[in-house]
Amino acid sequence: MDYAQQLYLDQSHAAFCYVVLIGKEAVGAFTECTLPAIEWEVEELKEGGQNAYVHQLPGRRKGARLTLKNGIGKSLVFQWFKEVVEADVHQGKLRKTISVQLKNSELQEVCTWTLENAVPVKWTGPQLRSDASAIAIQTLEFVCGAFTISMP
């Protein structure tokens, strides 16, 4: 049984899980994932004498963020985040290619999102309360360059 399978079994209440890989190594599993939005800036161009509409020209792609919640994983992910906090973010070695695999309840891969030039930008630790029965939540956010979607 590999690391991703063990992480999933530890969260046996989940119907799906998202396994994060850096390179080919599984480094974490999460129960929630918000995928990057693909959106372009739009420049409005008004044409003299044309009052019926405004030309809308696509510009640059807006920045994309990936958010993962309710996760457990290896310390490698937190170490990467710590390196980013302590170093110059523009260093190329801090950006990595990561993959997020959606796995079903039988641990079969459903879909994979590959994010190029990803870097972790936000980590929210669990909110622990002794008077509540809520599950501890942690959030990890990445920004990325290009990303692709593939299905087996």
Domain spans of the chain?
A: 3-150
Annotate 61-126 with DSSP letters as a single string: EPPEEEEEEEEEE-HHHHHHHHHHHHS-TT-GGG-EEEEEEEE-TT--EEEEEEEEEEEEEEEE--
Position 88 scores a pLDDT of: 67
**Contact status, residue 72 vs residue 11, Cβ threshold 8 Å:** yes
CA distance linking residue 7 with residue 57, whole number of Å: 46
Position 54 scores a pLDDT of: 94
From the number of C-beta atoms within 10 Å of its C-beta (0-12, 13-18, 19+), residue 24 rates as exposed
**Contact status, residue 30 vs residue 7, Cβ threshold 8 Å:** no
Q: Which amino acid is at 43?
A: E
DSSP state of 87: S
- pTM recorded for the entire structure: 0.69
Which residues does the chain have with pLDDT short of 70?
Answer: 1-15, 88-92, 129-137
Position 92 scores a pLDDT of: 62
Position 99 scores a pLDDT of: 92
**What is 3-150's CATH topology?**
Pnp Oxidase; Chain A (2.30.110)
Look-up: residue for tokens 């792609």?
A: 61
